[in-house]
Amino acid sequence: MVESLTTAERVMQKLPLPSDDIGDILRRFYATYGMPTEGPPAGLDVTQILGGDPLPAGEREILLSALNDQVLLRQFSGCRKILEDLATRLTSDELMRELSSVASHSDQEFDQMLSGVLWFSLASSLDQRRDGLPVTPFDEHFEIPFPVKARLTVEGSLVLRLYVALVYMREGVLSNRIAHGARSGNPCCGLVSKLLNSDYVRRIRNALSHGSFSSCVVGIAFRDDNGLVVATPNFLSWLCTWLMVIQLQALSAVSRADSTTS
């Protein structure tokens, strides 16, 4: 009978509160790897909301593995620091000016950059809402449970955006110009190069290249030879935002370079 009491009833009767094991693990994970707005707030009893159902053993193992992986934590912290530095620089036209000074290598540079930007935008548009609900091409044919549809549309859009930015755009115009600018000592190009070649981003890129990723309770788990990289949707969205800005400024730089040489 005591076990069936609500949290409020336990407080009134000064009985010990049941532990929120699931909520505590989730809050620890989001505080470590997520963004400030992610995760269950303090005081929310996630375990009680789920009816006392335990977190599946595989999901718990993924979260605890990431929380105890000191190498992953250092890689993530390094990536976050680079993104924070870039976020300040990319609000200006500094990167575009640096890339505009790089000599053009071919007449197809603008087309190559434009294709990447358009594909990235198309992938972003997959995460659509109608009256606040996610929209999929299958809605007229069968009903997908809301939690599943919401998760898969968000994560599907993120996977495709990351693939375009980190795999498709890995070689070619953007990487050549960034590498050239970094070798020339341009600070913003140097930061972009550090981001694209950071261990955290490299591991995500390798997992995407080999299709080694899957959904998990907190977002997406990427697998490589060194283990797991577990990333939250809001952090990946933040990463994608700045990858898109980098591509847009590079496209503008190529366009500017072409107009000055024609």
Which has the closest alpha carbon to 249: 97, 61, 74?
97
Mean pLDDT of 189-213: 95
Q: Where are the alpha helices (DSSP H) in 13-68?
A: 21-33, 46-49, 57-68
Shared-domain flag, residues 129 and 170? yes
As for how many domains the chain has, the answer is: 2
Shared-domain flag, residues 92 and 186? yes
Q: Give the alpha-carbon dihedral of 152, 192, 92, 236, to 10 degrees.
A: 20
Shared-domain flag, residues 120 and 239? yes
Shared-domain flag, residues 109 and 15? no
Shared-domain flag, residues 50 and 89? no
Bridge partners (DSSP) listed for residue 223: 228
Containing structural domain, residue 16: 1-55
Shared-domain flag, residues 41 and 122? no
> Tens digit of pLDDT for each residue in 87-130?
999 999 999 999 888 766 566 777 878 888 888 888 888 777 77
Residue bearing tokens 């091409």: 137
Confidence tier at 79 by pLDDT (50, 70, 90): very high
Shared-domain flag, residues 31 and 108? no
Q: What's the pLDDT at 131?
A: 77
Shared-domain flag, residues 9 and 107? no
Shared-domain flag, residues 135 and 208? yes
Residue pair 175/53 in contact by the 8 Å Cβ criterion: no
For the four alpha carbons of 24, 46, 223 and 197, in that order, the dihedral sign comes to negative
Which has the closest alpha carbon to 117: 254, 256, 235, 259?
254
Shared-domain flag, residues 122 and 38? no
Last residue of a domain, one of 9, 39, 55: 55
pTM of the entire structure? 0.83
Shared-domain flag, residues 220 and 94? yes
What's the token pair of residue 236? 């990946």
> Tens digit of pLDDT for each residue in 158-192?
999 999 889 887 767 788 889 999 999 999 999 99
Shared-domain flag, residues 135 and 227? yes
